[in-house]
Structure 1
């Protein structure tokens, strides 16, 4: 399967690493690159403010694609709140902008280090929570990562992205205040 990642930073590289381990071809695009073809799964590993511009620029090419939003729409000026309405999420906004795509929320509750290593605290598999309205898209996404060290769990419909973004926000604020490390995170323990 072909995977496209918008974003060449730590998160984009760590996410791509897992798809590559799972045997997929990954193409990365930076902010100044012009994407010529897009894979079946497109990862938006960019800051939240860049989502709308990418959705507008590539709307036609993203039709029928699985589009994964990894953003945490944090107010980076204050580190004190999310910038989306309380009854919405970045992923829900993206789905409105891309009505002909299957938008999923995933990877926002993980740090790059735990994605790269595939483990939280060196012991537990890194858990990727995925929310979306299209069950088939979630299943294809999960199968695409089946041969990686990550564990993917279905977090429900896209409206659950609100809770995932709040969880990601909490994790980031804990790391920024040095209560946990940037190599820490959440894992689902059986």
Structure 2
């Protein structure tokens, strides 16, 4: 579905920033990503709309936490990856304006790690050993 929309909208996306927030997770098993090794969903979708500027962000945050912008009273960490420094800066500003903490991780190829991060994070949510997580945990950098 994303691919179809992007193909149809590629011209309209000329010079636009697209924030890719989803994760290509196998939702039946939560044990793998659904993109080939060595790439990410963000990179694959960026190929379909080469005139748009893609930024990977907000994908390591569950919706409930994102709505509040906090976890345990602390601002959420939002990881940001893009090949465009200008687009990264725009998204970092958006995140900061929402009182969350932006963490720039570099180019769009780092979406691979961000999607892998979130796969592990999601797998913990469905693991009976961590039933208290309830899709309300967050990935944070402390220190």
Higher percent of residues as helix: 2
For structure 2, the 5+ residue unaligned runs are none
- Looking at structure 2, the residues matched to 113 and 78 of structure 1 have their Cα atoms a distance apart, in angstroms, of 22
TM-score, normalised via structure 2 length: 0.91
Deviation per CA, 1:64-92, whole angstroms, max 9, x where unpaired? 00001111101123322111011000000
Segment of structure 1 superposing worse, 87-96 or 169-178: 169-178
- Looking at structure 2, the residues matched to 174 and 186 of structure 1 have their Cα atoms a distance apart, in angstroms, of 12
TM-score, normalised via structure 1 length: 0.70
Q: Which of 27, 40, 47 pairs up with 1:76? A: 27
1:33-48 to 2 correspondence within 5 Å? none
Q: Which of 41, 49, 56 pairs up with 1:98? A: 49
The offset of 1:100, in angstroms, is 0.8
Q: Which of 100, 111, 121 pairs up with 1:150? A: 100
The offset of 1:189, in angstroms, is 2.2
- Looking at structure 2, the residues matched to 61 and 181 of structure 1 have their Cα atoms a distance apart, in angstroms, of 39
Higher relative contact order (CA 8 A, sep 6+): 2
* Map of 1:54 onto structure 2: 5
For structure 1, the 5+ residue unaligned runs are 1-49
CA contact (8 A) 1:104 1:138 kept: yes
- Looking at structure 2, the residues matched to 113 and 73 of structure 1 have their Cα atoms a distance apart, in angstroms, of 20
Regions of 4+ moved over 6 Å: none
- Looking at structure 2, the residues matched to 159 and 105 of structure 1 have their Cα atoms a distance apart, in angstroms, of 9
